[in-house]
Amino acid sequence: MEPKEVFDELKTILVTRLKFDPRRAVDLTPETTLPKGIESSIGLDSLDFIELSIAIEERFGIAMDESADLAPHFTSFDTLSRFIASRTPGA
């Protein structure tokens, strides 16, 4: 799966699982940052990241290693899309 396809799926997950405003989701770009407290981010907090991780595991069939430091992969849609794309079948 290509990072662009993953990015589109992540936007869908945000709207359906995290109840993100669909009108705001349209304006998201791969460069959009995720964590709360970063300028121009979508403001995800720790509970949002847990829910997002669960949704990623379910949608993409990959296990998120809780013992690993995943924070660098959850910086932006680009870093997260590339991380997921590299771990999906056929990567």
pLDDT digits (tens, 9 = 90+) for 1-30: 899 999 999 999 999 999 999 999 999 999
pLDDT digits (tens, 9 = 90+) for 40-58: 899 999 999 999 999 999 9
Full set of structural domains in the chain with CATH: 3-87 (1.10.1200.10)
Annotate 29-57 with three-state secondary structure.
CCCCECECCCCCCCCECHHHHHHHHHHHH
**Predicted pLDDT at 55:** 96
Query: Residue 38 and residue 52: Cα distance in Å, rounded?
Result: 18
Token pair 């770009």 is at which residue?
A: 29
pLDDT of residue 89 exceeding 80, the answer is: no
CB 80 within 8 A of CB 34: yes
